[in-house]
Structure 1
């Protein structure tokens, strides 16, 4: 029976404190296959310690570690220090934090079981962890915290202790036992040891350890015979602080765009986003594992036995936040050929800091903003929710009958995005289906989606977030849609702000005309792209038009999108349904007996174009003006001040769909008019 004390963990801790190199050597094995005995010895800084014998490698290593520790207590001097220059003292790893992060990554429940063992003098705190369905050994400590940390260390040692300290002797004599141990480990955490050991690649120019997603994607593409291509979408910012936007294209399929401070960082983030989306696809080849693309370091003469590197901190000062489930390490582990500077920020932050801060908005529309309102702390989220596992910094942006929209940071890609949560119905699935096919600079970018049994809810009245809650019906599913995060203002807000001016001043304001033409041109460009894909938006209105982070127009809310297919009888019926916002509906869209086509979007665009240019008051005056505009009766002053725009808008508001221009024709007309207007201004200025 093995000793209950974990001597391997104690020896590892000793080696870390003394900054010495520790490895275990397999001396050999003896006996028949059903009753083998294994011999292992510990080697510290080249000094060999007594052999440990056991029925398996784990027991032999435990005994070898015990003998080595006994030698230290007997020796009058400490083991030989390494010949390299002294480095800063190592920081003790928080094994509880490591275990929690591991459970979140692998989506396995982590549950501590705490108890008290009564003694003759005092009580001893006990703790063990249940990981998934497997219970790990019990550890003791003077306090609950100490017992919990020791228990987490035992889990770490059992899961990864074998992999991080084992070296191959190359003779294959231990293959049966070694494979059995690996299989047992992978039942709980598949590929954990391999990922802990080899999924990090050192970036020499930056001096920190980071996951090489470019290498992972390249390896996957090689195995599946695909061709990856990194495409530069755009470059923004001044020369001294540029921002690069890259996307990954694999076999003509575009993946989400990622932003980075340099080309290498942007490509890494693009690869991370693509890797996350690849695993969601139906043709995902799970046999091509992550660790198979990274070389096994079996030929190394020695391997340092250390816990996995600590998660990078988001705190610039290197201090721990007062309340967090994660730990911040201000110092780095300094080994040969591997350095991690505390002053260098990792490009892809995989660590989780769960102190989420959420901000609320009163607007019923999804106004994707970043307002600095009152902080609202969510309660502990459900560990089984993918939303709270993969995202942090969650903020409530809007909620209403449509569902909820949150701003959140994708931890893997270190990217802010919008996550829309709605009940999984035909409308929401239709929106996802449409957005997944559309990649245009004037359409809100869709990243990916998933379904959950629960809905993440935010209790605004109680100034707190609630855990993911179920409706109680097993048939109800919730759709989580990750999309591009847009700026705070919708086009509705843009128009209302300009309508606060008086009419005379608005007519003299040429800037509104220029900006309005620019917005109209971008809207038409987006609609042209939608129509080119044989789709009809059906709900174009200012509240559904947003702005990107750089000011570009973004068409959103494709919940009512439908396919324009004359040969589909079911689709013909769908295009007689009374759907949309009545005030922006075309006449044929309101008539339930008439089949309509893409020209309903042109009618709505005409009304929005009119709003962009004209100062419309509220109340009865607005309603009368609006009704007249729908009948092509524009105000006399509008006709005088905007003669060219009036002709375009009237054509867009034609009662008969066939009389309305195509989006492609509108785009050309607006571009030509905008150019002529600019030329005229330049001539007058000279």
Structure 2
């Protein structure tokens, strides 16, 4: 049957029955190196099932075969289904990611993959969506990040070519973050049960929520979307460390939750690990209410300082600068471990253009105001370490000594009580960035001092019991 000349047979049939036959070229799909062509036969004004092939000639032969089988065997319904299967089979040979990139070049549109993960029953599930120009297409999941990206590209292909609508895909693919076609606010309220408003900042608000299916509590940060707001998402997705607030996924919607943005602004939702409500700022304030400076505070401060520097060392190892280290941005996990958060001002360590303007909280900001590197984080770390150790009873007392501390001038009692800690803090507060140690050196020094401190403490306790 494959050797038959279906085009000649159909021509002969049309002539014999005095029928008007013509072919209509339906176009092609796919990249230039892997196109799929379609044609259909029209007999006396009636359309017959299209033929699909790797060349126009193949498509015409298949169209003639389909029309003949309809005319001679009455199998038009079967042929319609077979034609759809043939089209699908041809599509499986298309590299949809390449097709999408070529589509973007051809139409002068920017193509951006938006790769994320979401928590699953056993582990994180990769998801991907594509921004094509200004339009965001729905997200699709996959077993691997590559599979999710391929499925997302195929979905864009199907929507652009009219093979599927976003509503159909919402049913078929468990779409996660569509655009106008879906009531996107339902993503937040349908997947999560909002439990508590945790706080509000420059970015927006943070909510404590519970995943309705997993019964796990998370924090979701909601704010107005800006191009720069994705910087925090990109950084969080690049970080996985015990002392960094864990990131899970993000999505964008047209509507917020108790939030307001401009009429054309989208909302950015960031799902993160839920930390304890009290921050390091609260911990310091509570310690400052105690009547006397005690040994327990020093011991706890050493542990906290070590964990902060471990987190900073990891951030720097990933080529990032936090730029806004301060007690209010440092939290605690469920086991009391330190968690560095709020990466809204993070930047790359090799992005000179981004680092020409100094940003952060003025009281923790390093002296260098324009060109700077990761050593700005070390300066802030020195101030935090001092604040961990030293009791400042009132805001006016803090305001009085803070400028001196920034210039490496400490209260006399502090210098006597915390000789080793003062030495470390002094190096961190060096005016010249090149004189400050890096995180790895501080980490090693703190570990060594903690061992000595604990040894002295144990000896002291032993002497008291004798």
TM-score normalised to structure 2 length: 0.62
TM alignment of 1:390-469, pairs within 5 A: 390-457=191-258
Structure 1 residue 630, shift from structure 2 partner: 0.1
Q: What residue is the counterpart of 1:577 in the other structure?
A: 357
Q: What residue is the counterpart of 2:348 in the other structure?
A: 563
- Matched position secondary structure for 1:417: strand
Verify: 1:274 aligned to 2:59, yes or no.
Answer: no
**2:442 aligned to which of 663, 666, 675:** 666
Structure 1 Cα separation of the partners of residues 322 and 187 of structure 2: 30
Structure 1 residue 288, shift from structure 2 partner: 13
Structure 1 residue 578, shift from structure 2 partner: 2.7
Verify: 1:486 aligned to 2:281, yes or no.
Answer: no
Contact kept in structure 2, 1:628 and 1:634, CA below 8 Å: yes
- The superposition leaves residues 108-161 of structure 1 with CA deviations (integer Å, 9 ceiling, x where unpaired) of xxxxxxxxxxxxxxxxxxxxxxxxxxxxxxxxxxxxxxxxxxxxxxxxxxxxxx
Q: What residue is the counterpart of 1:378 in the other structure?
A: none
Against the structure 1 CA distance between its residues 394 and 585, is the aligned structure 2 distance closer, same or farther, given a 3 Å change threshold?
A: same
Contact kept in structure 2, 1:427 and 1:560, CA below 8 Å: no
Structure 1 residue 410, shift from structure 2 partner: 1.7
Q: How many residues align?
A: 315
Structure 2 Cα separation of the partners of residues 495 and 383 of structure 1: 40
Structure 1 Cα separation of the partners of residues 378 and 205 of structure 2: 29
Structure 1 Cα separation of the partners of residues 416 and 248 of structure 2: 45
Structure 1 Cα separation of the partners of residues 253 and 378 of structure 2: 37
Structure 2 Cα separation of the partners of residues 658 and 682 of structure 1: 37
Contact kept in structure 2, 1:383 and 1:389, CA below 8 Å: no
Structure 1 residue 274, shift from structure 2 partner: 1.8
Structure 2 Cα separation of the partners of residues 621 and 677 of structure 1: 29
Structure 1 residue 618, shift from structure 2 partner: 2.3
Against the structure 1 CA distance between its residues 676 and 387, is the aligned structure 2 distance closer, same or farther, given a 3 Å change threshold?
A: same
Q: CA RMSD in A?
A: 3.0
Q: What residue is the counterpart of 1:540 in the other structure?
A: 325
Q: What residue is the counterpart of 2:460 in the other structure?
A: 684
- The superposition leaves residues 209-243 of structure 1 with CA deviations (integer Å, 9 ceiling, x where unpaired) of xxxxxxxxxxxxxxxxxxxxxxxxxxxxxxxxxxx
Structure 2 Cα separation of the partners of residues 677 and 472 of structure 1: 55
Structure 1 Cα separation of the partners of residues 446 and 381 of structure 2: 13
- The superposition leaves residues 356-391 of structure 1 with CA deviations (integer Å, 9 ceiling, x where unpaired) of xxxxxxxxxxxxxxxxxxxxxxxxxx6753111211
Structure 2 residue runs of 5 or longer lacking an equivalent are 1-76, 85-114, 129-139, 155-182
Against the structure 1 CA distance between its residues 575 and 286, is the aligned structure 2 distance closer, same or farther, given a 3 Å change threshold?
A: closer
Q: Runs in 1 of length 4+ with deviation above 3 angstroms? A: 253-256, 275-278, 280-289
Structure 2 Cα separation of the partners of residues 608 and 637 of structure 1: 18
Contact kept in structure 1, 2:117 and 2:126, CA below 8 Å: no
- Matched position secondary structure for 1:430: helix
Structure 1 residue runs of 5 or longer lacking an equivalent are 1-175, 184-252, 259-267, 290-381, 459-468, 566-570
- Matched position secondary structure for 1:667: helix
TM alignment of 1:170-189, pairs within 5 A: none
Structure 2 Cα separation of the partners of residues 548 and 428 of structure 1: 24
The structure whose residues are more often helix, as a share, is: 2
TM alignment of 1:472-483, pairs within 5 A: 473-474=263-264, 476-483=265-272
- Matched position secondary structure for 1:677: helix
- Matched position secondary structure for 1:671: helix
Q: What residue is the counterpart of 1:284 in the other structure?
A: 149
TM alignment of 1:329-408, pairs within 5 A: 384-408=185-209
Structure 2 Cα separation of the partners of residues 401 and 579 of structure 1: 13
Structure 1 residue 275, shift from structure 2 partner: 5.6
Structure 1 residue 685, shift from structure 2 partner: 2.4
- The superposition leaves residues 533-576 of structure 1 with CA deviations (integer Å, 9 ceiling, x where unpaired) of 111000000000000111100000000000011xxxxx323212
Structure 2 Cα separation of the partners of residues 634 and 616 of structure 1: 13
Structure 1 residue 286, shift from structure 2 partner: 3.6
